[in-house]
A and B are shown apart, each in its own frame.
Chain A
Amino acid sequence: AQSVAQPEDQVNVAEGNPLTVKCTYSVSGNPYLFWYVQYPNRGLQFLLKYITGDNLVKGSYGFEAEFNKSQTSFHLKKPSALVSDSALYFCAVRDTANFNKFYFGSGTKLNVKP
């Protein structure tokens, strides 16, 4: 079965510090990986994706993610956190057998304190 896991329910970081939100995946074949952000009472917004190419992917709002095949990870990172980054973050993977299907992680709440 294909899946993603987000091992942390919550991540707390001080403003200005680097942040990492973790994601590991389990797929057969080459993964298509995504990160989304959800602000309160809003839909999910796409941040970035990895399909092929460079392992370091840059996305919206200064976020980036590193694809690591050997560790089956796709951690989301930002060098300097902002209070406005506080939100719920979801990692997702496309099903390589049924390309129309996405599997989402359980979400990680990021709290950035001033």
Chain B
Amino acid sequence: DTAVSQTPKYLVTQMGNDKSIKCEQNLGHDTMYWYKQDSKKFLKIMFSYNNKELIINETVPNRFSPKSPDKAHLNLHINSLELGDSAVYFCASTRQGSEAFFGQGTRLTVV
């Protein structure tokens, strides 16, 4: 049973398109995250939700919009994709005081 699962694993799309990445966790955690890992492997937090409420919103272009329909799901929608959006996007979840559990990542390539 996968604890944090993301779909799709790979996403290749053209500039200007709109795409979504989905994430689900079956750990019963209250907090979920989106991280971006760039080509140098640096991890940067983008968003965090706690019980469906947005609690962290880092400096991210407003083309990126997270949505949490319930505490087990956190989706990321990206409008008007740009070349610089190419990266690996990781979903993660945690409960307070504990470690984070990560999904396997979505490798987004914008061409």
Q: Which residues of A come within 8 Å of B, CB atoms?
A: 32, 34, 36, 38, 41-46, 49, 51, 88, 90, 92, 98-102, 104, 106-107
Number of B interface residues, CB 8 Å?
Answer: 25
B100:A102 contact, CB within 8 angstroms? yes
B100:A106 contact, CB within 8 angstroms? no
Does any Cβ of A come within 8 Å of B45's Cβ?
yes
B100:A46 contact, CB within 8 angstroms? yes
Known: A43-B103, A44-B102, A106-B42. A100 touches B31 (CB 8 A): yes
Q: Distance (Å) between the CB of B84 and the closest chain A CB?
A: 19
Q: Distance (Å) between the CB of A29 and the closest chain B CB?
A: 14
Residue among A99, A100, A101 with the highest chain B CB neighbour number at 10 A: A100
Known: A42-B105, A43-B102. A100 touches B50 (CB 8 A): yes
A100:B48 contact, CB within 8 angstroms? yes
Closest to A109 in B: B41
A49:B104 contact, CB within 8 angstroms? no
With a cutoff of 8 Å between Cβ atoms, the chain B residues found around residue A43 in the complex are 4, 90, 102-105
With a cutoff of 8 Å between Cβ atoms, the chain A residues found around residue B4 in the complex are 43
> Sorted from nearest, which 10 A-B pairs have the closest CB atoms?
A43-B102, A104-B43, A44-B102, A46-B99, A43-B104, A107-B41, A43-B105, A100-B31, A43-B103, A49-B99
Does any Cβ of A come within 8 Å of B61's Cβ?
no
Q: How many contacts between A and B, using CB within 8 angstroms?
A: 53
Residue among A43, A99, A107 with the highest chain B CB neighbour number at 10 A: A43
Does any Cβ of A come within 8 Å of B111's Cβ?
no
Q: Distance (Å) between the CB of A105 and the closest chain B CB?
A: 9
B104:A42 contact, CB within 8 angstroms? yes
With a cutoff of 8 Å between Cβ atoms, the chain B residues found around residue A98 in the complex are 56
With a cutoff of 8 Å between Cβ atoms, the chain B residues found around residue A38 in the complex are 41
CA distance A90 to B35 in the complex (A): 14
Q: Distance (Å) between the CB of B19 and the closest chain A CB?
A: 20
Known: A99-B96, A100-B31, A100-B55. A107 touches B42 (CB 8 A): yes
B43:A99 contact, CB within 8 angstroms? no
